Amino acid sequence: MDNEKQRYKELGDFLKSRRAKILPSQVGLPEGIRRRTPGLRREEVALLSGIGLTWYTWIEQGRPIQISSQILESLARTLMLDRHETKHLYTLAQHTPPVGFPICNDTVNPMLQHVLDNLEFSPATILDVRFNVISWNRAAAKILFDYGKINASKRNLLRIMFTNEEYKKIIADWEITAQEMIASFRTFYVNFIGNPWIEDFINELRSESKEFDSWWSMHDVKKDEGILKTINHPVLGQLKFEFTSYVVISDSNLKLSVLTAIPGSDAEEKIKQFLLR
């Protein structure tokens, strides 16, 4: 077997070995009773990664397929690869490993999730530096947006802001908020110009959203800061929040964002009654 064929075979075998280690419950899937093999099925990996089953099957079979950096990124997230495993995956696929580039992780420390869950009446999310939504609480799903409805490979707040019509409707002053998010994202982008993932991501959004394409060209820069945000909830109507965000000390690649109803406002009482019923 020549080196090229061996490389593709090694890539397929590596992916098979990693999916065998992931429990369905770890990615929000039911265990089922008729699993003939341990771990995830091929179709589950394909679905969670946002790629076709046939195409993913060919990869595992060792066929000579060119894989984009975005697909590698999605596979690394779905299979919960650590930094060393992710570097190995990129190398096998003959891509430049994301050296120095923050690796995505689809899970948070249980204690951090506990903090989220105990913010009972405040919609809260955990984002990584790429604006991927890593975790959220019940208040966020009920009051803001149920991120669980979106495939994990597409669960990026910047992408959702510009391509999800349901999300757009709930954001009052959408244009202002969207432009502020672009400006905030650019502070991350500037440190990784030329990275395959980030360039592919930006080009995709520019092709999918004329607003993003136009506003990205403005080169505005802005840091997150405490501000007021207004949400148009389909049941509760207009809700006003204080928005604050905090870097997670145990992992500086993560940020906790919290929407807190303005004290004494009708939003505070509306949310409590809505979530407790």
As a whole number of angstroms, the distance between CA 153 and CA 48 comes to 7
Number of structural domains the chain divides into: 2
Amino acid (one-letter) located at 99: V
Tell me what pLDDT residue 7 has.
Answer: 87
Cα–Cα distances in Å, from 206 out to 130, 163, 211, 219?
16, 11, 8, 14
Residues 80 and 159 in one domain: no
pLDDT at 236: 95
Angle between helix axes 196-208 and 69-78 (nearest 10 degrees) is: 100
* The predicted structure's pLDDT at residue 98: 64
Helices (H) and strands (E) in the chain, counts: 13, 5
Listed in sequence order, the residues at least 6 apart from 134 whose beta carbon sits closer than 8 Å to its beta carbon are 105, 106, 107, 108, 125, 126, 127, 128, 254
Q: What is the rounded distance in angstroms from the CA atom of residue 133 to the CA atom of residue 95?
A: 25
Q: Which residues of 133-172 are buried (b: 16+ CB within 10 A; e: fewer)?
A: bbbbbbbbebbbbebeebebbebbbbbbbbbbeebbebbe
Query: Are 133 and 220 part of one and the same domain?
Result: yes
37 and 127 in a common domain: no
Q: How far apart are CA 191 and CA 128, in angstroms?
A: 15
Phi, psi of 61 (to 5 degrees): -80, -5
219 inside domain: yes
Token digits of residue 174: 């959408």
Indicate whether 99 belongs to any domain: no
Q: Which residue range forms the structural domain that includes residue 188? A: 110-276
CATH number at 176 reads 3.30.450.180
What's the confidence (pLDDT) of residue 203?
Answer: 92
**Is position 97 within any domain?**
no
pLDDT confidence of residue 73: 83
Residue type at position 78:
T
Residues 74 and 142 in one domain: no
Q: Are strands 237-247 and 227-233 parallel, antiparallel or unpaired?
A: antiparallel
Q: Residue 195's pLDDT is what?
A: 77
The residues of the chain scoring below 70 in pLDDT are 1-2, 31-35, 97-101, 103-106, 223-226
Q: What is the CATH number of the domain that holds 44?
A: 1.10.260.40
pLDDT in the model for residue 29: 73
pLDDT score of 256? 95
The answer to whether 59 touches 2, Cβ cutoff 8 Å, is: no
CA dist., res. 9 & res. 13, Å (int): 6
User: Looking at the structure, do residues 88 and 124 belong to the same domain, yes or no?
Assistant: no
- Check residue 223 and report its DSSP letter: -
Share of the chain above pLDDT 90, in %: 49
